[in-house]
Amino acid sequence: MKIKTYITSLIICASCLSPAWADTPGTVSDAGRKASVPISSYPGKSELPLKALLRLADHGDSEAMFEAGRCYESGRDTEANPLKAVQYYKKAADQGNAYGQVAYALCRLNGHGMASDKKQFIEYITKAAEQGNKFGLLLLGKAYNYGWGVNMNHQTAAQYYRKAAAIGCSSANVALGQMYLLGEGGLPQDPAQAAELFEAATEQGDSYAPLSLANLYMHGYGIKQDCSKAADLLELGLSRGDYSACNLLGQLYEWGQGRPKDINKAIELYTLAAEHNSAPALRNMGRIYLDGIGVVQDSQKAGEYMQKAAKLGDPDAQYWCGRMHEQGNGLYKNMKLAVEYYEKAAKLGHADAQYTLGMLYKRGRGVARNTSAANSYLRAAAQQGHKLAINELNGTASLAQPAAETNSPASQTASSQPRHSAAPMTVGSIMEELRGYAQRYEHAAE
């Protein structure tokens, strides 16, 4: 597979998997979990009752204004009131308080407490960055990385990430590590450098860096392969509140790599990650029930899990929803819906989905026969090394039943196999498990 596959765009998104406030005591989150306001409490003020903070705020104390905004945001010492929270964040921001500027900027980005306004986000996050605030620098870097209110510019993003990292922002180290994995922002593709940055962020206490570093240890990419070390890192991430680590840790228990083989423990971890909306974990639970691995086989439950993962944008799950609709196994038989799911997965670069669509268009099954569309999909799959697509294009396809028409996900889909035992390893497959967490911030990147 080539590096620039459907996973690549999600790896880019995954560089915001480590929120800006990961190296601070806590967060103030909006209901949509799009992004959250970093917290760096002011000594002597963070524990003051709201009434005291409001009195100080009335006398022009910008720190008290920020802390009052936190109270209204979190519902501490009062009922939660997003609108009042935004009002006090803006008061603090207009007084030149850098944390108030960051908080207000994120509210404008997310549309929290008021309408979304990316111009206002850029205006206030730039003010915070100009004061040398590490969160301002980090988020301005993300703005350039994803085009939040500015033209996308990975080089400029990397510059801001470096500035933030230089003053101790662990999340900036994670973001830079992602860029080194991709060779973006004028940086060379250097997985060893990425590993160093992930390790530095882990040592800084970042909650989500252990997951990134564990992926590299699992696959021996940029660092010596060590599944036991990977498992240790995933447990560390979980202890820091990263439930996305549960899915990958569950896979190690399922495979018996780095930890004793224990399907019950694996299912326990998949379930925990799924409860926190990890798309890969939801997909794994679908696979577990579809094949009856450690549980009573239940196609209906499998379909429910796969649909949830597909809605979160997981291309493997979208592909399997297509298969299940096509076969009427776990989801009702409906070729129109099957094709729709295949198309969603194919747009994200899923090679099996591209091959399947190619064959459907070639045979006129569920769609009008279209040789041009068939060849286009088959070429896309072949470019990723899909052997059946290559054979089909070369006219050497086997008379045996093609993989896309078999029934068991365990027998055919790469999502059910240990990623590091599949060939050849790519950045995309290494970082695949970051997708579930990246989805939490997808809306903020829109």
Model confidence pLDDT, tens digit, residues 286-344: 999 999 999 999 999 999 999 999 999 999 999 999 999 999 999 999 999 999 999 99
Burial class (CB in 10 A: 0-12, 13-18, 19+), 111: middle
* Separation between Cα atoms, residue 11 and residue 430, nearest integer Å: 10
Query: Alpha helix (H) ranges present in 185-295?
Result: 191-203, 209-219, 227-239, 245-255, 263-275, 279-291
Burial class (CB in 10 A: 0-12, 13-18, 19+), 414: middle
Produce one character per residue of 275-290: b if its CB has 16 or more CB atoms within 10 Å, e if not.
ebbbbbbbbbbbbbbb
Q: pTM of this prediction? A: 0.75
What is the per-residue pLDDT for 114?
86
* Separation between Cα atoms, residue 179 and residue 15, nearest integer Å: 8
Residue 76, C-beta contacts closer than 8 angstroms, at least 6 positions apart: 50, 70
Contact (Cβ atoms closer than 8 angstroms) between residue 175 and residue 145: yes
| DSSP assignment of 323-390 | HHHHHTSSS---HHHHHHHHHHHHHTT-HHHHHHHHHHHHHTSSS---HHHHHHHHHHHHTTT-HHHH
Produce one character per residue of 131-155: b if its CB has 16 or more CB atoms within 10 Å, e if not.
eebbbbbbbbbbbbbbebbbeeebe
Instruction: Tell me the backbone φ, ψ of residue 126, rounded to 5 degrees.
Output: -65, -40
Contact (Cβ atoms closer than 8 angstroms) between residue 96 and residue 124: no
What is the per-residue pLDDT for 41?
63
Residue closest to 80 by CA, chosen among 68, 90, 91? 68
Note down pLDDT in tens along the chain; length 446 residues: 333 333 233 233 333 333 333 333 233 232 233 444 444 666 668 889 999 999 999 999 999 999 999 999 999 999 999 999 999 999 999 999 999 999 999 999 999 888 899 999 999 999 999 999 999 999 999 999 999 999 999 999 999 999 999 999 999 999 999 999 989 999 999 999 999 999 999 999 999 999 999 999 999 999 999 999 999 999 999 999 999 899 999 999 999 999 999 999 999 999 999 999 999 999 999 999 999 999 999 999 999 999 999 999 999 999 999 999 999 999 999 999 999 999 999 999 999 999 999 999 999 999 999 999 999 999 999 999 999 999 999 986 643 334 444 444 433 333 333 322 222 223 333 333 333 333 333 333 33
* Separation between Cα atoms, residue 68 and residue 59, nearest integer Å: 13
Q: Which residues pair with 37 in a beta bridge?
A: 28
Q: Compute the CA torsion angle 22, 24, 27, 33 (nearest 10 deg).
A: -10
* Separation between Cα atoms, residue 340 and residue 346, nearest integer Å: 10
What is the per-residue pLDDT for 24?
33
Residue 351, C-beta contacts closer than 8 angstroms, at least 6 positions apart: 1, 380, 381, 384, 385, 386, 389
What is the per-residue pLDDT for 40?
60
Residue 102, C-beta contacts closer than 8 angstroms, at least 6 positions apart: 20, 37, 38, 124, 125, 128, 133, 135, 136, 139
What is the per-residue pLDDT for 113?
83
DSSP 121: H
The Cβ of residue 80 has, within 10 Å, a number of other Cβ atoms equal to: 14
* Separation between Cα atoms, residue 25 and residue 40, nearest integer Å: 7
DSSP 188: -
Contact (Cβ atoms closer than 8 angstroms) between residue 438 and residue 17: yes
Q: What is the largest CA-CA distance in the chain?
A: 82
| DSSP assignment of 415-429 | GGS-GGGSSS--HHH
Residue 436: left if φ>0, alpha if ψ -120 to 50, beta else—which one? Answer: alpha
**Structure-block tokens of residue 277:** 């909306």
